[in-house]
Chains A and B, each alone.
Chain A
């Protein structure tokens, strides 16, 4: 069977809030955030009739309470999609949303369905990471993993040990630039275009959540230098050079290229290839490196073919390790995270993979000269995931040149 072309038609997300009582989403249910994203996707694409959606795939790490009961199905009912739409939840920790995209896309490619919604959500305020997990004691008794593998901050410290050439000053500099890029993108209205405002209940009444809560445009190197290193005495990883704990949801519409054409929807990018790869849990941050090598190989491309990179900055050290591996320019590689990354926006686990796609979609539009881009992220317990996308928002001339290839 020949695989069908899968395109991404649109992507949108909620604002990303700070996890915890002070965060804007503290009194908002995760499933309601998912519903908001689904309804906004449908509203923005009226050519896509609700009954045409066949699958609703949602990545979510903690699948209980307001994220439980098969969120992919509950959100069909709650968002008013027809009951004929099927749905499921999927988990790959941080890469839940990315997995929802690649799994739904695989189904579309194989003819399992023509149209799917894929998204990711994590309300880390309601579901502190791993709070209800019960890890098998053999992990430690049989020395299957180092104790530090269970703490993401410690795995980042481990990466510093592994790459002594990456100093704390470098991670702080990287992080400050990230905040500055994000501030610029926010200022220009670019980020606002990606966020659907949502009226949410707080202890001070209803407010409109339309901005990310995490970005700190005022960040300075001096300020970053003063932050505590909670994971290690005299360590290097701080709240300032990592991504934080957040609440957020992001979703996208996937379909066959044919269906998009039939409906008159402008596809934004085509899913060209993807790969996941496992690494040692203690150094999970290097996951994107083998995953990207594998994905490039699957696509028959090299890193030089890639014009835009969206890497989920769980930690600055992990981003810099990736840059070093692929010969990207430190501290500010012009094709990587052009609107800033997770250090500024936050990382509501399973939603991030879809946020990356959303950023790339907008990056492609701004850079019609770019033909390929990739989204990549590291995953707790030692994985990486990479998706390679082809830009479909290029002007006609370049498009015809592509065809000749």
Chain B
């Protein structure tokens, strides 16, 4: 909480056109603690502007960030403590009051965006007459809608008036809802957010020179007039997009679209538009979606960076060669990940040359795709493929430091390949399993060195989803665990330590959800009805559509594992088994709107119950059971903290930020209190 406030420092430069004020935003910390705007910052801004207004010799102002950071927006630390409309509205009004003074200055002003500019940090730049941006800026964005807010310090008004509604919607709504996509400096320039794009090397010198040239008329800025003619169509399209992403479950994007639409009516004064932004903040900051958004952001941005459960003070073993058992799609994805992140030799072992050829072909294809996209040099790709070894012989694992298996999800097979590997590898080599549900302890039980076995559960697609569940078996030792965590870090995955228990964490929750969904269909609900109800929670994908991605066989298999452990809560579904046997991978023909239940599936699911369901009932069943299951998970200490569950659901299942993963949602909408007479949340 005691974050260093961002202050506005002013220095003066005597240029050929007279005195220029250079205002620097700086909280005195390094780039890992970006500039943010709280009360103290706004007070400091007022003071800086007072000084500039008072000095009649000043001919211009340049606004700068600190190294690598322009500003990262409002200080979110205050959000959890705001509970009324008026408090939220005040925050908006205070920001407007301070920043608009930049706009009201009588001298030319230029924002030199030298580093990351997010939310309020981008808004403050929009109050300046001109903007320059550095080519090296990696992140320019309005993440507000992603967090349950709207750009409410002028962004929803000034952006459409600068670059038009289409681009403003892209920046404020589409990008925010698309995993918070950010622009780099060049893209921000192309979009019209900045008037000039400069190299980072002399960025402030060039920006200052531009300001001086603008003041004495040597340079002029010409901007295209934004096209306001199709505001309605653009906003309608944006609403449809928001429906597709959040299904009405989060108010922020809709509110942002409304503000943008209204700001495009140029008969409205800026003050009027700002007042609307204030009201939107009043409504949104107190909302549960915003609180959850900020909570999720903190989990992912801060808490997940220091994985809970990583053994302290234990030096991980180096990994200089990696062995992969199997050459199927998962194995090949793993091989590619290790090659790209570690750059060490990777040996893939399978039982047939044709399997190897297929796996190696996949890797080669993916590497050349990277080359053609310009993301890797050909020489580097050639080298990486050169150190990728396909083998049928276990002996090639002899000098591996880390071996991971990705073979069929059957305990005897997994035990057998580990035993075979153990015959050739050194006693220090880690044996990791990518199992999605089987017991790591049991898998290790027949080995000479069971202490080197660890679960290393990736989520599909491996290159995209950032979560990795690390599973400690009964005998897994600390150095193996430390090595696994270090490995996860190098692979750029967020690791979470999970107890060895059926289906671990994310799959257990998803399986519980899917089991309930099937159960309700069994009782008489339709697939579409159940999917629709789940989407209204804001889930990224409906459960029966997700099933097609996971594969019916895998889903059934994980269900079986859970069923063995908790038969009452995880009943087996015979009809799903029939689908597996008939090799039907998808409930529906087609995806998204217009999808229809596959006739063969309809056949399998004939003669079900005839209970009528309404949406509320479906949700009530799902949420009640999720609450109970999560309570079991915490009591069994699968993970220790509900925050781990939320982090895992955000990063491993893509559940929405505005629900705070799942436990915060269950608390806030009342399920935890109702079902368990408590809340999950703890400080």
Contacts and interface: CB of A to CB of B under 8 A. Distances in A.
A199 B9 contact: no
Given A199-B22, A204-B11, 16 more contacts: A36-B202, A78-B201, A197-B13, A199-B204, A199-B208, A201-B67, A203-B28, A205-B10, A205-B26, A206-B22, A206-B24, A206-B204, A207-B11, A208-B13, A208-B22, A208-B208
Contacts of B28: 203
A208 B10 CA distance: 12
A207 B201 contact: no
Interface string A195-239: 001110111111110100000000000000000000000000000
B313 interface: no
B480 to A, nearest CB: 38
A201 B201 contact: no
Contacts of A199: 22, 204-205, 208
Interface string A179-198: 00000000000000000011
Interface string A35-49: 110010000000000
A198 B23 CA distance: 16
B643 interface: no
B393 to A, nearest CB: 44
Contacts of A207: 11, 13, 22
Nearest to B7: A205
19 contacts: A35-B201, A39-B201, A39-B202, A80-B199, A80-B201, A199-B204, A199-B205, A199-B208, A201-B67, A202-B11, A205-B9, A205-B10, A205-B24, A205-B26, A206-B11, A206-B22, A208-B22, A208-B208, A210-B13
A204 B205 contact: no
Nearest to A209: B13
A201 B112 CA distance: 14
* A interface bracket (residues with beta carbon within 8 Å of B): 10 to 19
B13 A205 contact: no
Contacts of B26: 205
B201 A205 contact: no
B91 to A, nearest CB: 26
Q: From B10, B66, B67, B201, name the one whose CB has the most chain A CB atoms within 10 angstroms.
A: B201
A205 B65 CA distance: 8
A106 interface: no
Given A199-B208, A210-B13, A205 B22 contact: yes
B205 A198 contact: yes
B335 to A, nearest CB: 34
Interface residues of B, number: 18
Contacts of B202: 36, 39
Contacts of B24: 204-206
B664 interface: no
A203 to B, nearest CB: 7
A78 B22 CA distance: 25
Contacts of A79: 201
Q: From A35, A202, A207, name the one whose CB has the most chain B CB atoms within 10 angstroms.
A: A207
A154 B371 CA distance: 62
B64 interface: yes
Contact of B11 (A39, A78, A198, A205): A205
Interface of A: 35-36, 39, 78-80, 197-199, 201-208, 210
Contact of B64 (A35, A197, A198, A206): A206
A56 to B, nearest CB: 16
Nearest to A79: B201
A98 to B, nearest CB: 27
A201 B66 contact: yes
B29 to A, nearest CB: 12
B114 to A, nearest CB: 9
B202 to A, nearest CB: 6
Contacts of A39: 201-202
Q: From B11, B28, B67, name the one whose CB has the most chain A CB atoms within 10 angstroms.
A: B11
Contacts of B199: 80
Contacts of A201: 66-67
Nearest to B11: A207
A78 B66 CA distance: 20
A403 B673 CA distance: 101
B309 to A, nearest CB: 38
A205 B204 contact: no
A205 B35 CA distance: 13
B208 A205 contact: no
Nearest to A199: B204
Contacts of A205: 9-11, 22-24, 26, 64
A80 B203 CA distance: 14
A202 B66 CA distance: 10
B460 to A, nearest CB: 41
A200 to B, nearest CB: 9
Q: From B28, B67, B202, name the one whose CB has the most chain A CB atoms within 10 angstroms.
A: B202
A285 B64 CA distance: 46
A208 B64 CA distance: 13
Interface in B510-533: none
Nearest to B62: A206
Nearest to B67: A201
Contacts of B11: 202, 204-208
A206 B22 CA distance: 7
A79 B202 CA distance: 9
Nearest to A201: B67
Contacts of B23: 205
A242 to B, nearest CB: 30
A197 B11 CA distance: 14
A191 to B, nearest CB: 14
A41 to B, nearest CB: 13
Q: From B13, B23, B28, B64, name the one whose CB has the most chain A CB atoms within 10 angstroms.
A: B13
A26 B8 CA distance: 20
B300 to A, nearest CB: 30
Contacts of A202: 11
A16 to B, nearest CB: 18
A204 B11 CA distance: 8
A204 B10 CA distance: 7
Q: From A80, A202, A205, A207, name the one whose CB has the most chain B CB atoms within 10 angstroms.
A: A205
B67 to A, nearest CB: 6
Which 3 A-B pairs rank lowest in CB-CB distance, beginning with the nearest?
A205-B24, A205-B9, A199-B204
Nearest to B25: A205
Contacts of A36: 202, 205
Q: From A35, A79, A201, name the one whose CB has the most chain B CB atoms within 10 angstroms.
A: A201
B201 A204 contact: no
A14 B181 CA distance: 40
Nearest to A196: B205
A210 B212 CA distance: 15
Interface string B176-211: 000000000000000000000001011011001000
Interface in B13-34: 13, 22-24, 26, 28
A202 B67 CA distance: 11
A79 B201 CA distance: 7
A36 B203 CA distance: 11
Contacts of A80: 199, 201
Q: From B28, B67, B205, name the one whose CB has the most chain A CB atoms within 10 angstroms.
A: B205
Nearest to B204: A199
Nearest to B26: A205
A210 B661 CA distance: 53
B620 to A, nearest CB: 57
Nearest to A203: B28
A202 to B, nearest CB: 8
Contacts of B205: 36, 197-199
Contacts of B22: 199, 205-208
B142 to A, nearest CB: 25
B67 A204 contact: no
A39 B205 CA distance: 12
Q: From A79, A197, A199, A202, name the one whose CB has the most chain B CB atoms within 10 angstroms.
A: A199
Contacts of A206: 11, 22, 24, 64, 204
B659 to A, nearest CB: 41
A205 B10 CA distance: 7
A207 B204 CA distance: 10
